[in-house]
Amino acid sequence: MEAILVFIFIAVGFAGWWLWHEKILDKPWTTEGTETDLRESIGTILPTRRTGLAVFLAVVTSVFALLVSAYFTRMELNDWHPVQEPGLLWFNTVLLILASVSIHWCSRSDKINTVKLMLLATGGFTVFFIIGQFMAWQQLVIEGYYLQSNPANAFFYLFTGLHGIHLLGGLWVWFGAMLRVFTGVEIEQAKISVQLCRTYWHFLLVIWMVIFALLLST
Amino acid sequence: MAYVALSDRGQVISHPHSWITKYVWSQDHKVIAIQYGITAIAVGVLALVLSAMMRLQLGFPDTLSIISPSEYYQYVTMHGMIMVIYLLTALFLGGFGNYLIPLMVGARDMVFPYMNMLSYWVYLVSVIILVASFFVPGGPTGAGWTLYPPQAIMHGTPGADWGIILMLVSLAVFIVAFTMGGLNYVTTVLQARTRGMTMIRLPLSVWGIFTATILGLLAFPALLVSAIMMTLDRLLGTSFFMPAIVSMGEQTSYDGGSPILFQHLFWFFGHPEVYIVALPAFGLVSDLLSTHARKNIFGYRMMVWAIVIIGALSFVVWAHHMYVSGMNPYFGFFFATTTLIIAVPTAIKVYNWVLTLWHGNIHLTVPMLFAIGFIFTFVHGGLTGIFLGNVVVDLPLSDTYFVVGHFHMVMGVSPILVVFGAIYHWYPKMTGRMFNSAMGKWHFWLTFLGTYAIYLPMHYLGFLGVPRRYFAYEGIDFIPESAMALNTQITVAALFVAVVQILFFVNIIWSMFKGPKADPNPWGATTLEWQTAETPPIHGNWGPELPGVYRWAYDYSVPGAEKDFIPQNQPPAPGEKVVI
C-alpha cells in the first residue's frame, strides 16, 4: 500500500499548505467587519472548471495509485509471471506524446486555423493511440498472455483498459471543444475547454508513462 | 474580482417553470438535495425492515421461522451496505451537502448544476440496481457488507450467481454518482463563497461536509478498484483475490490470489468511510448545539483543526479492522497507535461540545434534544472503540456482539440522531412550516432510550462471547439461557424503535401541509441560509445581490448587542467596537 500512502501524504501536505495560506490559524471572532477576501490577496482564484478538473485529477490519481499498490502487493506472490510487453507500446507512447504536444500547441496558438488543425491532430493521435492499445492487446492474446492465465497479464489489461477509458472520457470533452471551435460559437468557452483538455492530456500522458515504466521494469 | 463574476451569475440562471423542470429534472441544489434525501430515506426504511426481520429470527428462533439462513445472511449484508453507503453517505453529502453548502457559503447554486442533477439520477440508478438484486434468481448477495473474497463469489454463498454482480455494479455506479456530486461540493466551497466568507468563517457544517467529501473522493476509488477486480475475478476468471480453492469437491480454476489484498483495499476505503459519515455529523451537530445553546461554539478553530486532522489520520488506521486477518504483529502495533492518536482530536471535539453547553442558555428544542442525545451515544460508541482499537482486547472481542454494539452506537445511532436533529432544525427553512414539537419530543425520547435498550445489552452479550453473524444459537454450551432472554429483549426493543419512527414520518408529512407557517429564522440562527428573503428559498437563493459576510458564524449572545444573535451578513454598526 506504499504508492497510495505516498499519494495521501502528498495530498495532506498540499492541504496543509493551502489551509495555512487560507489563514486557518486566524481567530475569526476578532476579524469582525473586514471584507478582505483571502483568495484575492494570495491570487489563487482559478476558473471554476479548472478547479473542478484539478479535484477530479486527484481522484484519478487515487485510482491509479491504488492499482499500483495492489500491483506491488500481488506481485510478491509466487505465481507471478511477468508479461513480455509488445514493442508496439513504444510506438503508442510516441502517439500519446504527439497528442499532448498538439493540444499544447493548440492552446497556445492565436490563429484559428492552427487551433483547428492542432485540435484535430490531438483527436487523431489519441484515437490512434487507443487503436494501438487494442492491437497490443490482440498481440498479447495471440502470444498466449490471456487475462485469466496470470495476474501479471490481468493487471496489464486492467491498467491499459482503465487508462484507455479515461482517454475516451477526455475525447468526450475534446468533442465538445471541436464543436465550439468549428462552429465558432462560444469562443471563450472553447478556449477554456481546450485548456482543460491540455491539462487532462498531459496528466494522462504522465499516468501512462508511470504505468509503462512500471510494466517494463517488472 | 473574478469570484463575484462566477458566483453571482444571477442573469445566467434561468428559472424553470414547468412542473417537470422544477421538481424532476431540476438543477436547483435544494430540489436535488430533497430528491437525494427522499431516496436515501426510502432505501433506509427498506434496510430498517430487513433488520427487523433479522431481529425476529434472533429473538424468537423457535417460535417464529420467517426467514431461512440464506435470507438471514442476505439481510445482514443488504442492511449494512444500504445503511452505510446508500443511506448515510448519500444523505449527509448528497442531501445535507447539497442543501446547505450553497446557502451557507452564500452562493446561488452549485458551480456545476447540470452535473449535480446527473449525480442524483446516477445515484438513483445505483439504488435501483441494488434493489433489483432482491428480484434476481438466488437473491441479493449474502457475503456480508465487507464482501470478503473468496466466499463472496463462491458457490454456496447466497446470491453468488447474480446478487454479488449487481452489488459490485451498483457500488461502481454509486461511486460515479458520488464523484460527480463530490466535485461539485468541493469546488463550490473553494470557488463560490460570497464576499467576505473566508474559510475560517465557514460554519462547521460546511467544514464537516467539505472535509468528508474530500475523504470520499480519495477513498471511494479503493472501493471502485476492488469492485472492478472482484468483478473480473467473478466473471472472467482472473485471480486478483482468489486463491487456489476447492469448491463443492471440485478444484476451481483460481490460483494464487490474495484475499488479504482485498481486505486492505476494502478497509482503505472502509475506514475513511466511517469519517465520511461522522465528519458531516460532527459539523451539523456543532451548529445545532451552538444555535440552541445561544452561545458561540467553544474552540471554533480547534474544531476546524480537529476535523482536518481526523480526516488526514483516517487514512492511516484502516488495518485496525484486520487484526484477526493474520497480519504482521508489528503492523498491529502501528495501527493500534494511530487509532489511539485519532481519538485525541475526536475527544477534543467532544469536550468542546460539552463546553459549548456549559453556561449556555440551553433551549431544549427538538433539534437540541437530538444533538445532546448524539453526545451521549457518540461518547459511548467512541469509548468502546478505544477498547477495540487495542489488539489484545480486539482479538477476543472480534466477531462478537460487542463489535456490533460498538459500531451501531458510533456510526449507526449517533449519525442518525444528527440526521433527525438536522432535519428538524432545517425543516422550517426547507418547507416554510413548523413541525409538531410535542410529537418530535416523543420521537426523540422513545428513539434515544430505545436504542440504548437495543445496543447496551449487546456489549454484554459480546463479553459472554456470543458470536455475531450466527443465524441461530442452539446447542452452544457456553451461551447461557439468560443470553437468549436478552436477545429476545433486544428484539422487542428494536421492533419498538422501528415502529416509533412512524412518529417522525407522520410529523414531517403532516406538518408539510398543516403545520403553522414558520418564521424565516425561527431559531435565531446566524448563518446565511436563515437570512434568505424567501422561505423556502427560491431558485437562485438570494435577491438581486449576494449577501456579504462580515463576521464568523457564531456571534451568539454578544454582550451589548441588540439581539442574542448577529447574522453573518449584518455589517458592523458604525462605531461598533471591533474586538481585536
pLDDT digits (tens, 9 = 90+) for A126-135: 999 999 999 9
B280/chain A closest Cα distance in angstroms: 19
**How many domains does chain A contain in total?**
1
**CATH code (residue A130):** 1.20.120.80
Q: Which residues of B touch A30 (CB under 8 A)?
A: 578-580
Between chain A and chain B, the number of residue pairs with CB atoms below 8 A apart is 167
| B188-214: burial string, b at 16+ Cβ within 10 Å, e else | bbbbbbbbbbbbbbbbbbbbbbbbbbb
Q: Do B198 and A148 touch (CB under 8 A)?
A: no
Q: What is the pLDDT of residue A54?
A: 94
**Tell me: the pLDDT tens digits for B218-234?**
999 999 999 999 999 99
**Tell me: the pLDDT tens digits for B242-285?**
999 998 888 988 988 999 999 999 999 999 999 999 999 999 99
Residue of A nearest to B238 (CA): A148
The CA-based angle A156-A159-A162, given to 5 degrees, is 140
DSSP letter string over B100-113? HHHHHHT-SS-SSH
Domain containing B427 equals 25-240+262-531
Q: Do B198 and A22 touch (CB under 8 A)?
A: yes
d(C-alpha B366, C-alpha B503), whole Å:
13
Q: Do B312 and A158 touch (CB under 8 A)?
A: no
- B537 within domain boundaries: no
Q: What is the pLDDT of residue B2?
A: 34
Domain containing A109 equals 83-217
- A14 within domain boundaries: no
A48-75 and B204-236 are packed helices; what angle lies between their axes, rounded to 10 degrees? 40
- B321 within domain boundaries: yes
Q: Which residues of B touch A25 (CB under 8 A)?
A: 301
Collapsing DSSP states into helix, strand and coil, what is residue B575? coil
Q: Is B317 on the interface with A (CB under 8 A)?
A: no
The residue ranges of chain A whose pLDDT is under 70 are 32-46
Cβ atoms of B233 and B128 closer than 8 Å: no
- B257 within domain boundaries: no
Other C-beta atoms lying within 10 Å of the C-beta of residue B578: 11
Q: Do A35 and B548 touch (CB under 8 A)?
A: yes
Q: Which residues of B touch A66 (CB under 8 A)?
A: 221-222, 225, 265, 268
Q: Which residues of B touch A172 (CB under 8 A)?
A: none
Q: Which residues of B touch A1 (CB under 8 A)?
A: 264, 268
Cβ atoms of B257 and B240 closer than 8 Å: yes
The reply to whether omega before B522 is within 30° of 0 (cis) is: no
**Tell me: the pLDDT tens digits for B20-47?**
877 888 999 999 999 999 999 999 999 9
Q: What is the pLDDT of residue B18?
A: 80
Cβ atoms of B64 and B463 closer than 8 Å: no
Closest CB to B225: pick one of A37, A66, A77.
A66
Q: Is B236 on the interface with A (CB under 8 A)?
A: yes
A100/chain B closest Cα distance in angstroms: 25
DSSP letter string over B31-69? HHHHHHHHHHHHHHHHHHHHHHHHHHHHHSTTT---S-H
- B579 within domain boundaries: no
- A36 within domain boundaries: no
Taking alpha carbons only, the member of A74, A155, A54 closest to residue B264 is A74
- In chain B, residues 251-270 whose CB comes closer than 8 Å to chain A: 253, 255-258, 261, 264-265, 268
Q: Which residues of B touch A28 (CB under 8 A)?
A: 198, 200-201, 300-301, 551-552
Cβ-based burial of B63 (10 A; exposed 0-12, middle 13-18, buried ≥19)? exposed
- A114 within domain boundaries: yes
Query: Which grid cell sits at A156?
Result: 496489464
Say whether pTM exceeds 0.90: yes
Placement of cell 490470489 in the chain: B257
Taking alpha carbons only, the member of B232, B248, B299 closest to residue B552 is B299
B477/chain A closest Cα distance in angstroms: 41
d(C-alpha A166, C-alpha A174), whole Å:
12
- A73 within domain boundaries: no
- B576 within domain boundaries: no
Closest CB to A148: pick one of B6, B111, B238.
B238
**How many domains does chain B contain in total?**
1
- A153 within domain boundaries: yes
**CATH code (residue B497):** 1.20.210.10
- In chain B, residues 179-198 whose CB comes closer than 8 Å to chain A: 179, 182-184, 186-187, 190-192, 195-196, 198
Q: Is B232 on the interface with A (CB under 8 A)?
A: yes
Q: Do A29 and B552 touch (CB under 8 A)?
A: yes
Q: Do A26 and B315 touch (CB under 8 A)?
A: no
Collapsing DSSP states into helix, strand and coil, what is residue B251? strand
- B559 within domain boundaries: no
A109/chain B closest Cα distance in angstroms: 24
- B7 within domain boundaries: no
Q: What is the pLDDT of residue B66?
A: 83
The residue ranges of chain B whose pLDDT is under 50 are 1-12, 579-580
Cβ atoms of B215 and B316 closer than 8 Å: no
Closest CB to A48: pick one of B6, B214, B222.
B6
- In chain B, residues 196-215 whose CB comes closer than 8 Å to chain A: 196, 198-201, 214
